[in-house]
Amino acid sequence: MTDCISDSFDFQDLDRRRLQADFSGGFLSNEGGLLLVSELDQRLGITERLAKCFNDLRDQRFVEHSVEELLRQRLYGLVAGYEDLNDHELLRRDPLLAAVVGKADPCSARTKGIRLQENQRLIASK
């Protein structure tokens, strides 16, 4: 009989982040399909092109989230089934959504006992 049980599955790295699915628990996300959405978006440049349709009139000295980042987060949230903006208060703690949106990993600071400040470029919320 063949042993087909694997302890973990490695995915292609996302920037400097190593992405791995395992079954040991820890910080979890049930949004694994967003990896495929992110890859498709990056290859086709959908969010990047859409962001160019907006004129960002905000004072850039005070901007923490670019229009492209905000669009990417909103679109990926919709794809994942989160149609309400207030869901992003909870989603900002999801390590996978942070990775595909390109924001700081909220879990790395927690695992090292570091308290994240609001200005450390987490996912946007209300």
Residue 1 three-state SS:
coil
pLDDT of residue 23: 63
Chain segment 87-126, per-residue pLDDT in tens: 777 777 777 788 788 776 666 554 455 555 544 556 776 5
Taking only the tens place, the pLDDT of each residue in 10-41 is 777 766 767 766 666 655 566 778 888 888 99
Instruction: Write down the residue that tokens 């089934």 correspond to.
Output: 81
Whether this model's pTM surpasses 0.85: no
The three-state secondary structure class of 21 is strand
Side chain identity at 54, as an amino acid letter?
Answer: F
Q: Which range, 8-17, 63-72, 78-87, 98-107, has the best average confidence (pLDDT)? A: 63-72
